[in-house]
Structure 1
Amino acid sequence: MDAYRGFVMLLMMAEILQFERISEALPNSSFWHFLAHHQSHVAWYGCSLHDLIQPSFSFLVGVALPYSVASQVASDKPFSTLFLRALRRSLVLVLLGILLRSVGREQTNFTFEDTLTQIGLGYPFLFLLGFGSSRTGWIALAVILVGYWAAFIAYPLPDAAFDYAAVGVPADWPHHASGLSAHFNKNSNLAWAFDTWFLNLFPRAKPFLFNGGGYATLSFIPTLGTMVLGLQAGRWLRTKLSPNELLKRFILAGVVGLLAGWVLEVTNICPVVKRIWTPAWVLFSGGWCFLLLALFYYLIDVRTWRGWAFPLVVIGMNSIAIYCLVHLIDQFIIGFFRTHFGPSFFLILGTPYESLVSGLAALFVFWLILYWMYRKRLFIRV
Structure 2
Amino acid sequence: MKESSSSQRLLSLDTLRGFDMFWISGGEEIFAVLAKVTGWSWAIFLAHQFTHPDWNGFRAYDLIFPTFLFMAGVSTPFSLGSRLEKGIPASDLVKKVIQRGIILVILGIIYNNGLFHTEWSRMRYPSVLARIGLAGMFAQIIYLYTGKRARWIWFVGLLIGYYLFMVFFPVPGCGAGLLTIECNPASYIDKMIIPGRLHQTIHDPEGLVSTIPAIATGLMGIFAGELLRTSEELISKNNKVVYLIFAGIVSLLLCLVWDYFFPINKNLWTSSFVLCAGGFSTLLLALFYWIVDVLNYRKWTLFFVVIGMNSIVIYMVGSFINFGFTAEALFGGILSYLPEPLEALGEVFAFIAVQWAFMYLLYRNKLFLKV
TM-score, length-scaled by structure 1: 0.84
Q: For 1:319, which of 282, 298, 311 is the aligned residue?
A: 311
2:55 alignment counterpart: 44
Query: Is the CA contact (8 Å cut-off) linking 1:16 and 1:359 kept in structure 2?
Result: no
Q: State the AA in 2 paired with 1:338.
A: E
> Residue 292 of structure 1: CA displacement?
0.3
Corresponding residue of 2:164: 150
**Structure 1 residues without counterparts, runs of 5 or longer:** 163-179
Structure 1 residues 14-33: aligned runs within 5 Å: 14=26, 17=29, 19-20=31-32, 23-24=35-36, 28-33=39-44
Query: In the alignment, does 2:191 pair up with 1:196?
Result: yes
Provide the secondary structure at the position in 1 that maps to 2:98.
Answer: helix
Go from structure 1 to structure 2 and tell me whether the alpha carbon gap of 1:29 and 1:347 turns closer, same or farther (over 3 Å shift): farther
Q: Residue by residue, what CA displacement relative to the aligned partner does 1:111-139 show, whole Å, maximum 9, x if unpaired?
A: 35422100112233212222222211111
- Partner residue of 2:6? none
1:216 partnered with 2:230: no
Report whether the alignment pairs 1:381 with 2:370: yes
Residues 115 and 214 (structure 1), Cα distance of their counterparts in 2 relative to 1, 3 Å cut: closer
Give the Cα separation in 1 of the matches to 2:186 and 2:337. Answer: 47
Aligned twin of 2:99: 88
**Cα pair 1:111 1:217 within 8 Å, conserved:** no
Q: Give the drift of 1:243.
A: 1.4
Residue type of the alignment partner of 1:187: E
Deviation of 1:353 (Å): 5.7
- Mapped pair 1:290 → 2:282: yes
Asked whether the equivalents of residues 151 and 219 of structure 2 are also in contact (C-alpha less than 8 Å), the reply is yes
Name the CA shift for 1:356/1:85 in 2 (closer, same or farther; >3 Å): same
Instruction: Give, in angstroms, the shift of residue 369 of structure 1.
Output: 1.7
Q: In the TM superposition, what whole-angstrom CA distance separates every residue of 1:140-191 from its partner, at most 9, and x where no partner exists?
A: 111100111111112236768x9xxxxxxxxxxxxxxxxx9x6322232111
User: Gaps (5+ residues) in structure 2?
Assistant: 1-12
* Structure 2 partner of 1:165: none
Contact 1:196/1:208 (<8 A) preserved? no
Aligned partner of 1:273 among 265, 289, 292: 265
Please tell me whether residue 245 in structure 1 is matched to residue 239 in structure 2.
yes
AA matched with 1:300: V
**1:297-341 superposed Cα distances (whole Å, 9 cap, x missing partner):** 110111111111221112111111211213332xx1212343566
Choose from 55, 75, 80 the match for 1:64.
75
Distance 1:346 1:367 in 2: 19
* Counterpart among 244, 250, 255 of residue 261 in structure 1: 255
| Alpha-carbon distance, 1:22 to partner | 5.5
Shift of 1:53: 0.4
**Preserved contact between residue 62 and residue 126 of structure 1 (Cα < 8 Å):** yes
Query: CA 1:208–1:269 in 2, change beyond 3 Å: closer, same or farther?
Result: closer
Aligned residues of 2:213 and 2:274 also touching (Cα < 8 A): yes
Aligned positions of 1:111-130 closer than 5 A: 111-130=124-143
The one-letter code matched in structure 2 to 1:130 is Y
Aligned residues: 353
- Is the 1:38–1:48 Cα contact (8 Å) retained in structure 2? yes
Q: Quick one: distance in 1 between partners of 2:219 and 2:251?
A: 13
What is the distance in 2 between the residues matched to 1:25 and 1:101? 32
Asked if the contact 2:15/2:308 (under 8 Å) is kept, the reply is yes
| SS of residue in 2 equivalent to 1:183 | coil
Over 3 Å counting, the alpha-carbon distance change for 1:35 and 1:103 in structure 2 is: farther
**1:218 is paired with a residue of what secondary structure?**
coil
Matched, 1:106 2:106: no
AA at the equivalent of 1:233: A
For 1:2 and 1:255, the matched residues in 2 are separated by: 23
Alignment partners' CA distance in 2, 1:44 and 1:353: 34
Q: CA deviation at 1:288?
A: 0.3
The residue correspondences of 1:3-18 to structure 2 (distance < 5 A) are 3-14=15-26, 17=29
SS in 2 for 1:42: coil
1:308 aligns with 2:320: no
- 2:357 is aligned to 368
> What TM-score, normalized by structure 2, do the two folds share?
0.86
Percent identity of paired positions between Structure 1 and Structure 2 = 33
Q: Is 1:149–1:279's contact at 8 Å kept on the other side of the alignment? A: yes
Contact 2:213/2:270 (CA < 8 Å) preserved in 1? yes
- Alignment-mate amino acid for residue 245 of structure 1: N
User: What letter is aligned with 2:138?
Assistant: F
